[in-house]
Amino acid sequence: MTTLSWPTLEQLWQRRAAWRIRRAHIGDRAAMQSFVEEGLGATTRRLRFHGAIKACSTRLASALVEGEAVWAAFDDSALIGEARFVRDEADPERAEMAIAVADRWQGRGLGAALLGTVLAQAQRAGVRRLLADVMCGNTRMQRFVQRHGFAPLLHWRGGDTQLYECQLAAPQDAWLGPLVALYRRLQR
Ligand SMILES: CC(C)(COP(=O)(O)OP(=O)(O)OC[C@H]1O[C@@H](n2cnc3c(N)ncnc32)[C@H](O)[C@@H]1OP(=O)(O)O)[C@@H](O)C(=O)NCCC(=O)NCCS
């Protein structure tokens, strides 16, 4: 039997407090370049960008920090995670999300913190359907999104990715969200 001791709780608290999440801006461009080129290993880069990327050009870094809804996590001045949603121009209640956490920060809850930010902000911004386009072999992301309320869409749009969808309640129904999450957790 595992006993939860105070040092463990303290370590968990330190881990949680170790990063700071805020909106990204153009001043984060250099940090984003280092994050993509040094923070993400080759496999993580391929899973995040759905293809092999070696270098992060200034242009790509600018595109990654700009946008309506982009969040970055920092450990001091080092960028260690990023997440975003991009609204569908034709259907503003629909948006697609993307996320990546630096290799050595994965498995510590940072992905969950970033995704929680994206879900809350998307809901506040009036998004009702949040999509994640995940590579078929990316089982970790598939488990991750499903744990956070996404479900695979039955229709397959081809290629080597699978679309997952999370339906977000209208803000006046938002109090239901935590209850639904608890219900799903108890069902597992
Ligand atoms: C998917 C991804 C964003 C998840 O980020 P993360 O920071 O590792 O996520 P979390 O730590 O919140 O949760 C992931 C795992 O760590 C575990 N975990 C969470 N908090 C933890 C903690 N404090 N200590 C140890 N493990 C922990 C979770 O149980 C989970 O387990 P799993 O291996 O069964 O998935 C990250 O793996 C990633 O960047 N992947 C590559 C890029 C990618 O695939 N992007 C998606 C493109 S659509």
CATH number of the domain to which 122 belongs: 3.40.630.30
pLDDT of residue 17: 61
- Count: domains in the chain: 1
Nearest residue to 84 via CA among 99, 74, 73: 99
**pTM, whole model, 2 decimals?**
0.84
Could you tell me if the CB of 40 is within 6 A of ligand 1?
no
Query: Do the domain assignments include residue 62?
Result: yes
- DSSP 3-state assignment of 37? helix
Could you tell me if the CB of 47 is within 6 A of ligand 1?
yes
Query: Do the domain assignments include residue 169?
Result: yes
Q: What order do you get walking across the sheet with 78-87 strand by strand?
A: 20-23, 70-75, 78-87, 94-101, 129-135, 161-167, 151-152
* Host domain of residue 45: 21-187
Query: Do the domain assignments include residue 87?
Result: yes
Query: Do the domain assignments include residue 1?
Result: no
Round the average pLDDT of the chain to a whole number and report it.
Answer: 88
Average of per-residue pLDDT across 106-127: 96
Query: Do the domain assignments include residue 94?
Result: yes
pLDDT of residue 2: 43
Nearest CA to ligand 1 atom 9: 111
Residue 3: pLDDT band (50, 70, 90) is: very low
Average of per-residue pLDDT across 79-103: 97
Query: Do the domain assignments include residue 7?
Result: no
pLDDT tens-digit readout, 117-146: 999 999 999 999 999 999 999 999 999 999
Centroid of ligand 1 to alpha carbon of 40 (angstroms): 13
DSSP 51-102: S------HHHHHHHH-SSSEEEEEETTEEEEEEEEEE-SS-TTEEEEEEEE-
Centroid of ligand 1 to alpha carbon of 125 (angstroms): 25
Average of per-residue pLDDT across 1-23: 65
Ligand 1 atom nearest to CA at 140: 35
Nearest residue to 47 via CA among 157, 148, 142, 149: 142
DSSP 139-188: HHHHHHHHHTT-EE-SS--STTEEEEEEE---GGGTTHHHHHHHHHHHH-
